[in-house]
Amino acid sequence: MMNLKTYLPGKANNFILIHLGVVLFLLLFGCVEQQEDEKKVVAEVNGNQLTEEDFQMLISDKRFQKKYKNEILRQWIEKELLYQEAVEQDIVSSQEFESYIRYSERELAGSMVVRNYISDNLPEITNAELVSFYDDNKEQFQVDRESYLLNMITFTDRERAIKFRSILINSDWNSAVSSFSNDSTVTSNFTNNLFYANHIQPLKFLRVVRELFPMEVSIVVETEPGMFSVVQMIETLDKNYVPEFNFVKEIVKERYTIKLQKDLYNKLIENLYTKYSVEIKRK
């Protein structure tokens, strides 16, 4: 069973993304080199191709999980168009561009040092550690906006979604899900997950959710082209409500991981201060 990565209020930032920003930028939005193979091409701009493999990398990235595939594809095309225009205007051969590249190389190299150090030293996180972190920081997980506890499943086939809804109405969520456990048209399945209203897209789907009573099942809604969702309302949450640990386990894990990453980063920098000579000169 998949777990929705729920975004809750707080000041925690994804530490790794900050330090690997340049890496991700080059990987995700750089010009896709043409390879003479049989990979399926998703999009092409002036001869530069986005393969299915590269596209799957884009849509699997955490920063884009709440965006529609079409939106991600559009963004790639726009960035490729801008790159093509930069080539046309000789920007990529300018001295200013070369300066940025040299700076980016240093940033990239440093980011890879951080990534490798954290990857090598980040310990396995136990459930007990997560529960302890949750108990000590419950105020971070308070609901501060319109939100719901929901069951939600999405299909690529409307008829399968309709059949799922029919089974669900005559049984329960777990039984219905079990009936479709090997169904290739199921793209996502979330059970007892916390959703903020502003993360429920499109607006017509949010309107459907708002009208549901506890345990009521929605109609089948096309949430994006070729994607058909069914949702079951569990509970509408009040402001300042603190969800139980099981509902926010993934976000607790994320924030606890961030804490460990920051601790490791600080340790790395401390070690480097010892390893290399550092001198600050001020006028």
pLDDT (0 to 100) of residue 67:
53
Judgement on whether residues 165 and 233 belong to the same structural domain of the protein: yes
Provide Rg for the chain, Cα atoms.
23
pLDDT, tens digit, 9 for 90 and up, residues 25-76: 444 444 444 444 447 888 888 878 888 887 787 776 545 544 567 788 888 8
pLDDT mean across residues, the chain: 84
Residue 259: pLDDT over 70: yes
pLDDT (0 to 100) of residue 60:
67
Judgement on whether residues 148 and 116 belong to the same structural domain of the protein: no
For the question of whether the overall pTM of this predicted structure is more than 0.85, the answer is no
Q: What are phi and psi of 259, to 5 degrees?
A: -60, -45
**Domain of residue 74, residue span:** 15-120
pLDDT, tens digit, 9 for 90 and up, residues 127-144: 999 999 999 999 888 887
Judgement on whether residues 215 and 164 belong to the same structural domain of the protein: yes
Asked if residue 133 lies in contact with residue 252, where contact means CB atoms within 8 angstroms, the answer is yes
Torsion angle of alpha carbons 270, 257, 145, 4, nearest 10°? 150
pLDDT (0 to 100) of residue 57:
74
Judgement on whether residues 20 and 105 belong to the same structural domain of the protein: yes
Query: Is residue 9 one of the residues assigned to a domain?
Result: no
Sign of CA dihedral 36, 52, 2, 6: positive
Q: Domain boundary at 87, 104, 120, which?
A: 120
Query: Is residue 226 one of the residues assigned to a domain?
Result: yes
Query: Is residue 277 one of the residues assigned to a domain?
Result: no
Query: Is residue 205 one of the residues assigned to a domain?
Result: yes
Query: Is residue 67 one of the residues assigned to a domain?
Result: yes
Q: Among 60-64, 69-73, 87-91, 115-119, which stretch is predicted with the lowest mean pLDDT?
A: 60-64
Q: Helices (H), strands (E): how many in the chain? A: 10, 6
SS3 content of the chain, % helix, strand, coil (to 5): 55, 15, 30
